Chain A
């Protein structure tokens, strides 16, 4: 198993290198001189040259990349132009609300999706099945920020049950925390729920056809036991893949939803940095999120073995 993990980690290296190169060159795609962007058009040539030297822009491009890459590996992603603090510090300061939002919406999405997906698979071809498939098709067609806006219109403006926007940290109490996060979490989780429900249905349908399910049925096992213990467990691998992928998109999707609900998370950090043209922050957050995303997918891959003994056995061979 350890050998497998190490092997997988090594296979990630070229991907991470490409990611780093792309992120590094992002800042160099800027039309014009980043120093001019920083100082404005009126700055004298001398101050510009000084700053250029300070930021290392006078060095050859590959030296700049190596220096930046070294720093990135050691956890130094440079300083924010605007916030006057290291990018990593800013990232972790804004991470809390995003993580909280992503986890709550993932939980909602998984519960709703598994229930609907299993139900659709069990009642295949009935009205129930078509309704679930219809809802999930609708779910993948609506962008999360739009769901958010519609939810605000209904629950905050019309019914006035929930706050329009804002954020309360967990230290204010779980109830208050959830009251502010429930609408954004639903908005964010809708598309994931739709994707997971579709996958659950098709994966369950595949498994239900297999011989061992027939055997279980002929043994006279309770249908619920067959569905949940026998079928769902082995149907879980593709579902897990979708869940893993969706968690990555959740974190970035959170960026968009946070803007709708004014939640001070990573999304707002990115959007504000775009407005301020704070390139180190944009670079740094994109890099951090992408690396997390890649590593998360690795973890999911490794989890397959835990969920499905067949995968574990194949690895040993």
Chain B
């Protein structure tokens, strides 16, 4: 009996994996989102190679030049090449967004699991999470950056604090469902330790909502970072970020449309790509929607 299970296991896994890939490829939203993000990520990684100028090189004679063959996106109010600055800005956005998403995902996972499995911790952790969740996110992030001082690390710390509650809540409710499953009871009856149940048997089962939520946090972190930098409570000049380029552009909006249109469009594209990917992921992992689609195709 035992050997049979061992033989059949890898093959079903393989079939399942293959099906997952076809599901990814057949979901247009997810695919479009992934393509957009991949292209922008490659651009961001290659920024030092692709950029024709230095993002910090000031050239007062070249102030506010409209887009041309030399300066594709024109120049800013210090005469710096806007194309270069936008490239580096995308890079900063992706670095901030991705780091916040990953760190938030991990901390949120730990907090959510601990409160689902340990009653005493649940009361303390969930009160803190509920309290933090009560704050409007931009406001709390703004206040944290304001008191800590505006720089990239503080922006990331602020965003992590602000977005942990949403992951922790998702994990907790998913883990509470898993906890009541028969196979967890069976594991307990067999004498499996709590840690084993948590790490080996619970994490894989709560991972998909976490990944979806993390994708959305990636997106909102980029939006919030841009808003904070636009308000002067984010990444400080002269380091280029899409938000602070827009801040510079605001004062010259009458003369230099390019300083608003180019960085603005890339924020939209980035966030749109992530939202598409998030929506697509939710569609392919939500059994309710999968069922509905199957029923429809029947």
Which A residues lie at the B interface, using CB under 8 A? 14-19, 21-23, 26-27, 29-31, 137-138, 140-146, 149-150, 152-153, 157, 164, 248-249, 251-253, 255-256, 259-260, 270-271, 273-275, 277, 279, 282-283, 286, 289-290, 293-294
Asked whether B183 is an interface residue with its Cβ less than 8 Å from the other chain, the reply is no
Residues of B close to A146: CB separation below 8 A: 226, 246, 264, 267-268
Q: How far is the CA of A84 from the CA of B139 in the complex (A)?
A: 23
Q: A141-B275, A248-B136 are in contact. Are A18 and B147 (CB under 8 A)?
A: no
Q: Sorted from nearest, which 7 A-B pairs have the closest CB atoms?
A: A18-B131, A252-B136, A274-B146, A141-B272, A141-B271, A252-B139, A143-B223
Asked whether B130 is an interface residue with its Cβ less than 8 Å from the other chain, the reply is yes
How many Å from the CB of A282 to the closest CB on chain B? 5
- Supply 10 A–B pairs (Cβ within 8 Å), ascending by A: A15-B134, A22-B135, A22-B140, A26-B143, A31-B149, A149-B264, A157-B254, A249-B138, A274-B233, A294-B134
Which B residues lie at the A interface, using CB under 8 A? 127-128, 130-132, 134-140, 142-144, 146-149, 219, 223, 226-227, 230-233, 246, 249-250, 253-254, 257, 260-261, 264, 267-268, 271-272, 275-276, 279
Query: Are B233 and A271 neighbours in the complex by a CB distance under 8 Å?
Result: yes
Query: Are A19 and B139 neighbours in the complex by a CB distance under 8 Å?
Result: no
Q: How far is the CA of A270 from the CA of B275 in the complex (A)?
A: 30
Write the chain B residue with the least CB distance to A252: B136
Q: A143-B227, A143-B267 are in contact. Are A31 and B131 (CB under 8 A)?
A: no
Query: Are B147 and A150 neighbours in the complex by a CB distance under 8 Å?
Result: no
Residues of B close to A164: CB separation below 8 A: 253-254
Query: Are B132 and A22 neighbours in the complex by a CB distance under 8 Å?
Result: yes
Residues of B close to A18: CB separation below 8 A: 127-128, 130-132, 134
Q: A248-B136, A282-B143, A289-B139 are in contact. Are A150 and B260 (CB under 8 A)?
A: yes
Write the chain A residue with the least CB distance to B131: A18
Query: Are A255 and B275 neighbours in the complex by a CB distance under 8 Å?
Result: no
Q: A17-B131, A289-B136, A290-B136 are in contact. Are A271 and B246 (CB under 8 A)?
A: no
Q: How far is the CA of A153 from the CA of B260 in the complex (A)?
A: 9
Main secondary structure of the interface of B (DSSP, over half): helix
How many contacting A-B pairs (Cβ < 8 A)? 138
Q: A26-B144, A26-B147, A137-B275 are in contact. List 11 more A-B contacts (CB 8 A).
A: A14-B127, A18-B131, A18-B134, A21-B131, A23-B143, A31-B148, A31-B149, A137-B272, A141-B272, A145-B230, A146-B268
Q: How far is the CA of A138 from the CA of B265 in the complex (A)?
A: 12
Q: How far is the CA of A148 from the CA of B272 in the complex (A)?
A: 18
Q: How far is the CA of A147 from the CA of B275 in the complex (A)?
A: 18
Q: A17-B131, A30-B148, A146-B268 are in contact. Are A255 and B143 (CB under 8 A)?
A: no
| Residue from the list B127, B148, B261, B268 in contact with A141, Cβ < 8 A | B268
